[in-house]
Amino acid sequence: MMRAMKSRELLYSGPLFDVARVTFEGQGGSDVVRDVIEHRGAAVILPLLDDGRVVLIRNVRHTVGKVLWELPAGTLEAGEAPSACAAREVEEETGYRAGTLVPLTDFFASPGILNERMHGFLATDLEQSAQSLDHDEEIEVFPIPQWQVRDMIKDGHIEDAKTIALLLYWMHLHSP
């Protein structure tokens, strides 16, 4: 049963997220205190070429000291609709403009510490344009056959949770 928040103290405010200490009434009346990362949300996009290949990216992630296989994704700007974010991010990161964007599913990234809601989209009718990376992004683009993407997940080559979640969701429920 959800209980009402008793208090919220802002610990940190930054350009991408805030950190707050929240207090709830727990079972038995004792207080439960949690530090929560508050995030505007993000879009994650599964770009699918006309020939059935999935467009994956190799993204340098300094936070984990690795270059990861991922689907394109990005944080919603203030007041931005998830579909607008998806259209913007797929083109910026892959250099493909989506003719069609279909919402697939929404999910929480890590609800134990983070309120970020990920909005998953399928992007089709892709038209080649040009990458437009942020100054801190290092991204390479790779169209990959679906069978190979499945193997990459199975073999542990794809380690990014949002990418695994959306790919498996789509492959299980929508892919032939």
Q: Which residues are catalytic?
A: 138
Does residue 152 contact residue 71 with C-beta atoms inside 8 Å?
Answer: no
Chain centre distance of CA 11:
25
Q: Which helix (H) or strand (E) holds 86?
A: helix 82-94
Count, residues in the chain: 176
CA dist 45 and 23 (Å) reads: 35
Does residue 161 contact residue 77 with C-beta atoms inside 8 Å?
Answer: no
Alpha carbon dihedral 55, 132, 118, 69, in 10-degree steps, equals 40
